[in-house]
Amino acid sequence: MPEPAPLNLASHAARRARLADWLGDGIAVVATAPEAVRNRDTHYPYRFDSYFYHLTGFTEPEAVLVVVGGMSPRAILFCRDKDETREIWDGFRYGPAAAQTAFGFDEAHAIAELDARLPDLLGNRARLAWAIGDSPAWDARMLGWLNAVRGKARQGIAAPAELLDVRTCLDELRLVKDAHELDVMRRSAAIASEAHRRAMRATRPGRREYEVEAELLHAFCAGGAQAPAYASIVAGGGNACVLHYVANRDTLRDGDLLLIDAGCELDGYASDITRTFPVNGKFSAAQKDAYEIVLAAQTAAIAAVRPGAAWIAPHDAAVRVLTQGMVDLGLLKGEVDGLIESNAYNRFYMHRTGHWLGLDVHDAGEYKRDGDWRPLLPGNVLTVEPGLYIRPADDVPAAFHNIGIRIEDDVAVTASGADVLTSPPKTVSEIETWMQG
Ligand code: GLY
Ligand code: MN
Ligand code: MN
């Protein structure tokens, strides 16, 4: 049996208290994710809802959290009953009584009681919050309960007049990671870093992209991660110029680069790393020239990560270095400022330099506030991932055709700067030395 994820009750309880404060005299309903059929009677591996998990630490399907705000705040879990027969087939389930004690809820009930209890809980509350629009089926249930309360008007029971999206509050909570989350993310990053080191060592001409993917999966599992955080990209040669390449079937060729974008999920938290390196272990002159530009862009972007800096500062720093590099390599002609202004660099660099990272690989949280890029805060975690993608064209020097490079690390904003969580070999000499080992 795999070990259960270590519980961190204080963090989950603190988040529920913040939600209760935000609600005032209101109530929030947060459901976990449904199970999903893959085909016939086989399901996808179950993954809880990230918001629900952030508030509870509870990983079973068929569970709903109700948080009541106001003068006497309460957290109520609805979950599956104990069921000896189902537990013989599918494994342990807590049941409401044990879940209440183990996870520190004020109350817990069987999920089958949700329809009966929700209208009473909603009565005389000023506002009701849920993830509005996330699931049509769930919206319909919420509105059904709301109408059930409205049906009690003649008993003097008022329905909530205000409907709020609970994610307005929860996204902000998820943006700033606490010490426990940072610890889990550091461990997720360490497992993924080891996976990249292993994959680099296993790469050689003639192997298939999926054989290298197998090395990543081995390291994720052996390191204790529960799953890849997203479909791994193992892209040899020109496949690296397809940003979301996940087929991973081609044969790796001598003289090509290999781009690997892969991270794992540990106890809910994602890592997200990209490395690009030569299939034969030695960069050609053109590959090295292009690689050094992306590396310099990433170094400049990471240097721009610090508390108070605008979210977009690392991207702007990377774009400047990349655009200068495109001119130096003969990919673009003109002044750097003008090429940035006109977005001409988009031909070879068409994505942003990063995203929030956390329970979701593209994590929750806004990037702008009132029209301005938001300032970075200690506890934010983001990726820094500049790239250069050079498709063959008549006006592009042939030596650079089909070179696709991205370098991606996971970075935590600290009180004074940035902490890079990920660590596979990155410079040309680190990569070449590691691959010779
Ligand atoms: N692996 C997804 C991304 O880098 O954003
Ligand atoms: Mn990535
Ligand atoms: Mn990423």
**Which domains does the chain show, CATH number per domain?**
9-174 (3.40.350.10), 176-435 (3.90.230.10)
Tell me whether residue 51 is exposed, middle or buried, using C-beta atoms within 10 angstroms of its C-beta: 0 to 12, 13 to 18, 19 or more. Answer: buried
**77-96 average pLDDT score:** 96
Pairing of strands 257-262, 264-266: unpaired
Active-site residue identified among 60, 209, 385, 410: 385
- pTM for the model: 0.96
Question: From the centroid of its chain, how far is CA 338?
Answer: 34
| pLDDT for res 367 | 98
Residue 4 has pLDDT above 60, yes or no: no
Question: pLDDT-based confidence at 2, cuts 50/70/90?
Answer: very low
Question: pLDDT-based confidence at 7, cuts 50/70/90?
Answer: confident
Question: pLDDT-based confidence at 6, cuts 50/70/90?
Answer: low
Ligand 1 neighbours by CB, cut-off 6 Å: 230, 261, 272, 355, 361, 385, 408
Q: What is the pLDDT of residues 217-270, one digit of tens each?
A: 999 999 999 999 999 999 999 999 999 999 999 999 999 999 999 999 999 999
The C-alpha atoms of residue 357 and residue 67 are separated, in whole angstroms, by 26
141 is catalytic: no
Active-site residue identified among 60, 209, 272, 409: 272
CA–centroid distance, 152 to ligand 2, in Å, is: 51
41 is catalytic: yes
CA–centroid distance, 249 to ligand 3, in Å, is: 22
Minimum-distance ligand 1 atom for the alpha carbon of 261? 1
> Is residue 183 a contact partner of residue 146, using CB atoms and an 8 Å limit?
no
User: What is the amino acid identity at position 415?
Assistant: A
Task: Choose the residue to mutate in 242, 383, 406, 422 for probing ligand 1, maximizing ligand atoms within 8 Å of C-beta.
Answer: 383
**163-192 average pLDDT score:** 98
Residue 146 has pLDDT above 80, yes or no: yes
Q: What percent of the chain has pLDDT over 70?
A: 99
265 is catalytic: no
Q: What is the pLDDT of residues 183-195, one digit of tens each?
A: 999 999 999 999 9
Average pLDDT, rounded, for the chain? 97
419 is catalytic: no
Among 67, 64, 51, 145, residue whose Cα is nearest residue 106:
67
44 is catalytic: no
Question: From the centroid of its chain, how far is CA 153?
Answer: 44
Q: What percent of the chain has pLDDT over 90?
A: 98
362 is catalytic: yes
Task: Choose the residue to mutate in 261, 265, 352, 406 for probing ligand 1, maximizing ligand atoms within 8 Å of C-beta.
Answer: 261
Dihedral, 225, 275, 374, 48 alpha carbons, nearest 10 = -20
| pLDDT for res 5 | 53
Q: What's the CA angle centered on 411, arms 408 and 416, to 5 degrees? A: 145
Residue 339 has pLDDT above 50, yes or no: yes
CA–centroid distance, 232 to ligand 1, in Å, is: 9
**277-285 average pLDDT score:** 98
| pLDDT for res 243 | 96
15 is catalytic: no
Token look-up 């027969």 returns 85
Active-site residue identified among 355, 360, 363, 409: 355
Minimum-distance ligand 1 atom for the alpha carbon of 408? 4
Backbone angles phi, psi at 381, to 5 degrees: -125, 130
Per-residue 3-state assignment (H helix, E strand, C coil) for the chain: CCCCCCCCHHHHHHHHHHHHHHHCCEEEEEECCCCCEEECCEECCCCCCHHHHHHHCCCCCCCEEEEECCCCCEEEEEECCCCHHHHHHHCCCCCHHHHHHHHCCCEEEEHHHHHHHHHHHHCCCCEEEECCCCCHHHHHHHHHHHHHHHCCHHHCCCCCCEEEECHHHHHHHHHCCCHHHHHHHHHHHHHHHHHHHHHHHHCCCCCEHHHHHHHHHHHHHHCCCCEECCCCEEEEHHHHHCCCCCCCCCECCCCCEEEEEECEEECCEECCEEEEEECCCCCCHHHHHHHHHHHHHHHHHHHCCCCCCECCHHHHHHHHHHHHHHHHCCCCCCCHHHHHHCCHHHHCCCCCCCCECCCCCCCCCCCEECCEECECCCCCEEEECCEEEECCCCCCCHHHCCEEEECEEEEEECCCCEEECCCCCCCHHHHHHHHHC
Pairing of strands 368-369, 372-373: antiparallel
Q: How far is CA 248 from CA 14, 132, 212, 265, in A?
A: 43, 37, 9, 20
Q: What's the CA angle centered on 260, arms 421 and 327, to 5 degrees? A: 90
196 is catalytic: no
> Is residue 264 a contact partner of residue 190, using CB atoms and an 8 Å limit?
no
**206-214 average pLDDT score:** 98
**Minimum CA distance residue for ligand 1 atom 3:** 272
Minimum-distance ligand 1 atom for the alpha carbon of 351? 5
The C-alpha atoms of residue 214 and residue 199 are separated, in whole angstroms, by 8
User: For residue 306, what are the contacts with CB-CB under 8 A and spacing of at least 6?
Assistant: 376, 413, 416, 417, 418
Active-site residue identified among 362, 366, 372, 430: 362
Minimum-distance ligand 1 atom for the alpha carbon of 262? 1
CA–centroid distance, 246 to ligand 1, in Å, is: 12
More confidently predicted of 5 and 20 = 20
**374-384 average pLDDT score:** 98
Question: What is the C-alpha R_g of the chain?
Answer: 25
Question: pLDDT-based confidence at 280, cuts 50/70/90?
Answer: very high
| pLDDT for res 437 | 87
**379-405 average pLDDT score:** 97
CA–centroid distance, 362 to ligand 3, in Å, is: 7
